[in-house]
Amino acid sequence: MNINKENTVAEVVSKKLGSDNVFSKYKIDFCCGGGMTLEAACAENGVTFEILKQEIEAINNKITGDQNLNELDITTLMEQATEEFHQYFYEVLSQIMPLAAKVSEVHGSHNIEVVEINKLMQAVEIVLIEMLKNKEVSLFPAIESVLELNNSSSDISIKQIENIKKAIDKSEIAQHLVSDTFKEISKLSSHYKAPNDACNSYRFLYEKLHELDHQLQKYMHFNTYVFIPKILKIVA
């Protein structure tokens, strides 16, 4: 893929491995804002197109042996979602939640933003876990039942289609809620920059929040531009 200014952020993330790290570096939203052209994204975030393109090409050239997600079948994508993303989210939330509570309690009187961040993370935990369970308990089994029909659309029942679309709708609503909440967390934390006199727990919290934000954007891009479009093709 030759990168040009008219390409959307989503197109580049789908085709250029490692580009998500470059977009994160320049605070370019590659999840819900993935429909924006590179030209518009560069103008909005204060980076030249030439620098962005150069860095994307450089990191992409260093990555070898990885497969284009668009080439993977649905079963493999479901396995990847569970193993690469879901397991990570469960683990990182178990680390972040007690840490956010601790930092809020110890530093909240002087740094009111950490109190709000703790409250927002409590909401994120509820919505995110519900979204993951929705996929694992409802969406993935519904997809598997359809795939067992050997992709014969004529054999897919209306109920199966409705169950899949309902689970997708719930997932998309949750994604938007989590995305909007993390935009607020990013602002409150000055884009995850801890104060100069912050303790190790404070700094580690911001590091883990930044990491989680990045992984969430990757996951949401994966759902919006790779996984869900493949599902909709078999139930359309």
Q: What is the tens place of the pLDDT at every residue in 117-153? A: 999 999 999 999 999 999 999 999 999 988 887 655 5
Task: Return the pLDDT at 152.
Answer: 54
Q: 107 pLDDT exceeds 50?
A: yes
Q: What is the DSSP string of the chain?
A: ----TTSBHHHHHHHSTTHHHHHHHTT---STTTTSBHHHHHHHHT--HHHHHHHHHHHHHH--SPPPGGGS-HHHHHHHIIIIIIHHHHHHHHHHHHHHHHHHHHHTTT-HHHHHHHHHHHHHHHHHHHHHHHIIIIIHHHHHHHHTTTT-GGG--HHHHHHHHHHHHHHHHHHHHHHHHHHHHHHHTTTT---TT--HHHHHHHHHHHHHHHHHHHHHHIIIIIIHHHHHHHH-
221: its two tokens: 């891009």
pLDDT band per the 50, 70, 90 thresholds, residue 236:
low
Q: What is the tens place of the pLDDT at every residue in 173-222? A: 999 999 999 999 999 999 999 999 899 999 999 999 999 998 998 899 88
Task: Return the pLDDT at 192.
Answer: 93
- Give whole-number Cα distances, 165 to 112, 160, 201, 235, in Å: 41, 9, 42, 9
Task: Return the pLDDT at 65.
Answer: 43
How remote is the C-alpha of 51 from its chain's centroid? 24
User: In the chain, pLDDT over 70 holds for what percent of residues?
Assistant: 92
